[in-house]
């Protein structure tokens, strides 16, 4: 007859994964003592490195996401999603072509426009600008412009006058009601060559889009005045098309081209800004790889700290092994010690990164006042405020990567501690 074994005896003989003993031992080794002070210092450095690495990755990726989103919203808000232009000439029958394009499913609006480069001049200063002629109703439909008027009004723009960007008006020293002088090289042809076209227009409105490049260079006028000024006669430079889903703009190239006819060609916002957004994507990927090195260095600190801890605690590990502690228990105890640093650093970096992103503009202004310098110049970065857009999937990826590196860094020191031979460790004690 087989002897019965009490259930408690069975459970006592088994080693429960991550039990109270292993947590107690791991936390005991993480606490600072005078003799093992250097181990605690390395643990603190590892914690700080992981925290800063996670926070920096979250902040940088969020800022670059916000930067791209802000630029994209302003570029598409002003320029539209697609453009239809004539092949080698202006589009004359634009109302008919616009009506056909508007029937394409997914097209929200079609607006004719005339644009051209000009010199702008006032009694105070002179410079270059881009003039865009549009119907008053079409311009008011551009919410990014109509909702950004800081002085004057767009009402009555079809009757004459222009709307200018705030930085352009400031550079020229002009305000609403003043006249601005425009000079175009597309003037009348004379026996002595082409005479420049010069016109003076009253400023009806001043807008501020929040993108310095546009605020310093854009001038809107009525479509009829622009056709007369740039001598396009009965034609227009292009048809501006807006779609319900600009991310699917490539799907509309063929149907819009068919609707426009063989005399026109269609281009997308992605084609016009391909090099710009490609550069942003490359910069974003490179920054991610560079900042990931911070996490790798912090993980190496965890390895060095645990290796020193194993070497310092060799005698204690041998005594525990002779008292019945299994290799698995010792390995799990040291795994908990290293993983605790990684988890704590990751969570602290996650919280620090989110707090920084949610208050980034306030912090930027405070740092600018403290240092006396402009940390985010609109002339350099095109935007008047620092944006930050937290992407949940990217933040999750950063946190998981930090946890993986931290756990992976603890495996070798924990295995080394579990593989320690008690006889060899106590031979010279």
Task: Give residue-wise pLDDT tens across range 353-387.
Answer: 999 888 887 887 777 777 777 666 655 555 667 77
Whole-angstrom distance, CA of residue 265 vs CA of residue 321: 80
Q: Are residues 43 and 148 in the same domain?
A: no
Per-residue confidence band for 164, with pLDDT thresholds at 50, 70 and 90: very high
CA angle 275, 280, 286 (to 5 degrees): 120
Average pLDDT, the chain: 80
Any domain includes 3: no
Residue 193 confidence (pLDDT): 57
Q: Which residues contact 36 (CB under 8 A, 6 or more apart)?
A: 309, 312
Residue 293 confidence (pLDDT): 82
Q: What are phi and psi of 234, to 5 degrees?
A: -90, 5
Give the mean pLDDT of 174-192.
78
Of residues 388 and 239, more confidently modeled: 239
pLDDT tens track for 119-157: 888 878 888 889 999 998 888 888 888 888 898 888 888
Give the mean pLDDT of 399-410.
86
Question: Which three-class secondary structure string do you get for 203-268?
Answer: EEEEECCCEHHHHCCEEEEEHHHHHHHCCCCCCECEEEEEECCHHHHHHHHHHHHHHHCCCEEEEE
Q: Are residues 288 and 361 in the same domain?
A: yes
Any domain includes 80: no
Q: What percent of the chain has pLDDT over 90?
A: 7
Q: Are residues 67 and 123 in the same domain?
A: no
Q: Are residues 183 and 295 in the same domain?
A: no
Residue 269 confidence (pLDDT): 86
329 has pLDDT over 80: no
Any domain includes 7: no
Of residues 255 and 17, more confidently modeled: 255
DSSP state of 241: E
Residue 52 confidence (pLDDT): 87
Q: Are residues 240 and 295 in the same domain?
A: no
Whole-angstrom distance, CA of residue 14 vs CA of residue 2: 21
Q: Are residues 254 and 285 in the same domain?
A: no
21 has pLDDT over 60: yes
**Both structure tokens of 154:** 């767009």
Looking at the 3D structure of the chain, how many domains does it have? 2
Final residue in a domain of this structure, among 231, 262, 293: 262
Residue 216 confidence (pLDDT): 87
Whole-angstrom distance, CA of residue 99 vs CA of residue 285: 43
Of residues 374 and 81, more confidently modeled: 81
Q: Are residues 333 and 196 in the same domain?
A: no
Any domain includes 380: yes
Whole-angstrom distance, CA of residue 362 vs CA of residue 386: 9
12 has pLDDT over 50: no
Final residue in a domain of this structure, among 204, 233, 262: 262
Residue 61 confidence (pLDDT): 86
Give the pTM.
Answer: 0.67
CA angle 16, 22, 25 (to 5 degrees): 165
Q: Are residues 187 and 290 in the same domain?
A: no
Any domain includes 9: no
240 has pLDDT over 50: yes
Domain carrying residue 148? 88-262
Q: Give the H/E segment covering residue 162.
A: strand 162-165
Any domain includes 270: no
Four-residue CA torsion sign, 41, 42, 44, 48: positive
Q: Is beta strand 126-134 parallel, antiparallel or unpaired with respect to 218-222? A: parallel
Give the mean pLDDT of 228-252.
86
109 has pLDDT over 80: yes
Any domain includes 81: no
Whether the Cβ atoms of residue 232 and residue 193 lie closer than 8 Å to each other: no
Residue 1 confidence (pLDDT): 38
Whether the Cβ atoms of residue 362 and residue 54 lie closer than 8 Å to each other: no
Final residue in a domain of this structure, among 234, 262, 290: 262
Whether the Cβ atoms of residue 147 and residue 199 lie closer than 8 Å to each other: no
Q: Are residues 62 and 150 in the same domain?
A: no
Q: Are residues 254 and 303 in the same domain?
A: no
Whole-angstrom distance, CA of residue 331 vs CA of residue 75: 56
Q: Are residues 306 and 409 in the same domain?
A: yes
Any domain includes 269: no
Residue 6 confidence (pLDDT): 40
81 has pLDDT over 60: yes
Give the mean pLDDT of 268-279.
80
Per-residue confidence band for 206, with pLDDT thresholds at 50, 70 and 90: very high
**Which residues are registered as beta bridge partners of 190?**
193
CA-based radius of gyration for the chain: 34
Q: Are residues 103 and 244 in the same domain?
A: yes
């Amino acid at each position: 007859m087989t002897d019965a074994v009490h259930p408690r005896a069975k459970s006592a003989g088994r080693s429960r994964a991550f039990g109270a003993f292993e947590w107690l031992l791991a936390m005991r080794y993480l606490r600072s003592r005078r003799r093992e002070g250097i181990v605690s210092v390395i643990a603190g450095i590892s914690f700080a490195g992981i925290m800063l690495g996670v926070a920096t990755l979250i902040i940088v990726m969020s800022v670059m996401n916000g930067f791209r989103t802000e630029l994209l919203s302003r570029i598409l808000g002003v320029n539209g999603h697609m453009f239809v232009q004539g092949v080698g000439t202006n589009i004359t029958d634009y109302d008919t072509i616009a009506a056909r394009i508007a029937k394409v499913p997914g097209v929200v609006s079609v607006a004719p426009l005339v644009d051209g480069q000009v010199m702008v001049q006032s009694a105070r200063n002179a410079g270059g600008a881009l003039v865009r002629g549009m119907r008053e109703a079409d311009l008011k439909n551009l919410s990014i412009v109509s909702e950004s008027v800081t002085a004057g009004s767009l009402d009555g723009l079809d009757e004459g006058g222009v709307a200018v960007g705030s930085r352009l008006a400031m550079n020229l020293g002009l305000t609403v009601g003043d006249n601005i002088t425009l000079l175009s090289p597309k003037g009348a042809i004379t026996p002595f060559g082409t005479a420049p076209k010069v016109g003076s227009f009253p400023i009806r409105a001043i807008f501020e889009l929040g993108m310095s490049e546009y605020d310093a260079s854009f001038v809107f006028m009525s479509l009829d005045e622009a056709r007369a000024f740039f001598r396009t006669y009965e034609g227009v430079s292009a048809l501006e098309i807006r779609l319900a889903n600009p991310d699917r703009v490539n799907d509309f190239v063929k149907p819009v081209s068919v609707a426009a006819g063989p005399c026109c060609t269609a281009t997308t916002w992605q084609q016009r800004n391909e090099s710009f957004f490609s550069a942003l994507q490359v910069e974003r990927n490179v920054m991610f790889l560079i900042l990931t090195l911070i996490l790798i260095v912090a993980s190496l600190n965890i390895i060095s700290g645990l290796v020193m801890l194993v070497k310092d605690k060799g005698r204690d590990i041998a005594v525990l092994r002779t008292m019945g502690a299994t290799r698995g228990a010792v390995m799990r105890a040291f795994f908990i010690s290293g993983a605790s640093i990684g988890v704590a650093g990751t969570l602290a970096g996650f919280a620090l990164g989110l707090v920084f992103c949610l208050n980034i503009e306030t912090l930027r202004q405070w740092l600018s006042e403290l240092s006396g310098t402009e940390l985010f110049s609109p002339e350099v970065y095109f935007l008047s405020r620092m944006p930050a857009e937290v992407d949940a999937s990217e933040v999750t990826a950063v946190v998981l990567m930090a946890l993986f590196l931290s756990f992976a860094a603890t495996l070798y020191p924990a295995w080394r501690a579990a593989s320690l031979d008690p006889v060899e460790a106590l031979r010279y004690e």
